[in-house]
Amino acid sequence: MNLINIDTKFRIIALARQRLTAELDEAKKQLADLSSSSAEEDKSSAGDKYETQREMIKQSQDILDRQLSRIQLMMRQLAQIPITEMHQVQEGALVQLPIGLVWVGISLGKITDEEQEYLLISTDSPLFVAIKGLKEQQSTSFRGKTLTVEQLI
């Protein structure tokens, strides 16, 4: 079993922040590209084609706006997550389970640090609901498997 400690949490949060920042930058770039392509679009004699293209651009901008809002919300949530030692599974906990290392904070999927993989889940995750409140060496059943909290920080 890999030993985890408080420094591990700091690295996970830094990696999560880097990923969110990259996603935010990419969404902003795509939004800027859409805005410039919309501005360059001239109304041609084929009015329906122009209107259809404008509507497609608007829909893409709406999707990107929602994505930007979601990323910004996740960044604010990330900043509020406690980075202290935990004695039970709760928000901010880093948990060693038989299925791997799980960090409870924001739902960002898997990240890798120094060849170690971490699963980042939110408090809305079914996995979190199953393990919430457990202490080290306590177990629960999740999707037909027994999960034991092997280590908790």
Task: Please write the tens of the pLDDT for every residue from 101-112.
Answer: 999 999 999 999
Percent of the chain having pLDDT more than 90? 75
> Quick check: 78 and 106 in contact, CB under 8 A?
yes
Distance CA 53, CA 92 (A): 45
- pTM for the structure as a whole: 0.82
Per-residue confidence (pLDDT) for residue 1, from 0 to 100: 42
Per-residue confidence (pLDDT) for residue 45, from 0 to 100: 46
| Overall average pLDDT of the 31-53 stretch | 69
Distances (CA, A) of 91 to 26, 77, 87, 132, 153: 28, 11, 11, 9, 11
Per-residue confidence (pLDDT) for residue 57, from 0 to 100: 83
Domain boundaries, the chain: 6-80, 94-152
| Overall average pLDDT of the 111-124 stretch | 95
Per-residue confidence (pLDDT) for residue 39, from 0 to 100: 65
CA triple 133-150-88, angle to 5 deg:
20
Distance CA 71, CA 52 (A): 29
Q: Give the three-class secondary structure for 97.
A: strand
| Overall average pLDDT of the 76-103 stretch | 96
